[in-house]
Structure 1
């Protein structure tokens, strides 16, 4: 397994599709901390965050043979985490007189919901790929849980410029995905 650590995500995914558990372990260890941090920031509950991350990786392993990731694996993983977080937050919303069964039905694990999620993910990847280069890079680095200071240093920008690029990217995503996600979430 030692040599697998040097492989890029694409090669590891190829090995994973062929049932290579060591490739899965490398991906798991490579991304665990970052996606756990994201889930924890969004939920505010470490145990819930760990459950979310574990569920995503279990799902990845179970679907390994049929897995088709066209874009960047890190983006796929972060979007998967955000989707699971959305499900958790929707369940929490039940205390605000939201019908839990209705929300769970919208965000369940059926093939239809998975296809809808895949459509959102594909649209998001397409929109991100069309962003101006700096905005795209800032957005991708922020999704990797980098701080403004780290992004600014990596891209030789001021933190204010990082904030402006991130704001532009998020505004573009909100506009492009707005009506689609609005219908999905309501």
Structure 2
């Protein structure tokens, strides 16, 4: 791809776009926002293909970049949250393999969310809904440093649970 091979880029796009879209939907991105995030991601990859250096697998890079872009997007706009039950029940892609991976990821994510301590789970859900740490602290009646601790613990545990899907 670094030599500007459009066909190779198109193959990568077609291979990863459906599962990345499903992944962002699992993280509660609205479909239109997820599509915009992925479009921007792939455009940036194409534009910076000559200078792009990936130290892990391309798949891991894509999932991490998509996740980070989603969280950055959430910081700039308050999203209406997508009900996980609706998300699981709705077909997320036409790709059966992608649907299977999405279902497994959803199960792993939900299992880990349920296993989080109540305050960590609440803080993380508030952040996913677009609240800033100060707002979360006020809402929960705890200090910002405690919110930061809860969010850090939640991210570590969720990342560990999702790592197997990013290889």
TM-score relative to the length of structure 2: 0.50
1:182 aligns with 2:135: no
1:78 aligns with 2:62: no
Offset from partner CA, 1:8-37 (integer Å, 9 cap, x none): xxxxxxxxxxxxxxxxxxxxxxxxxxxxxx
1:93 is matched with 45
Unpaired runs of 5+ in structure 1?
1-55, 57-74
2:136 is matched with 151
Question: Distance in 2 between the 1:92 and 1:115 partners?
Answer: 28
Offset from partner CA, 1:86-117 (integer Å, 9 cap, x none): 6332453234268xxx97xx998523213312
Question: Distance in 1 between the 2:27 and 2:156 partners?
Answer: 22
Distance 1:138 1:85, change over 3 A: farther
The answer on whether the counterparts of 1:152 and 1:158 sit within 8 Å (CA) in structure 2 is yes
Question: Distance in 2 between the 1:79 and 1:121 partners?
Answer: 13
2:118 is matched with 133
Distance 1:155 1:175, change over 3 A: same
Q: Moved runs in structure 1, 4+ residues, more than 6 A?
A: none
1:173 is matched with 158
The answer on whether the counterparts of 1:79 and 1:121 sit within 8 Å (CA) in structure 2 is no
1:60 is matched with none
More helix by share: 1
Question: Distance in 2 between the 1:84 and 1:117 partners?
Answer: 16
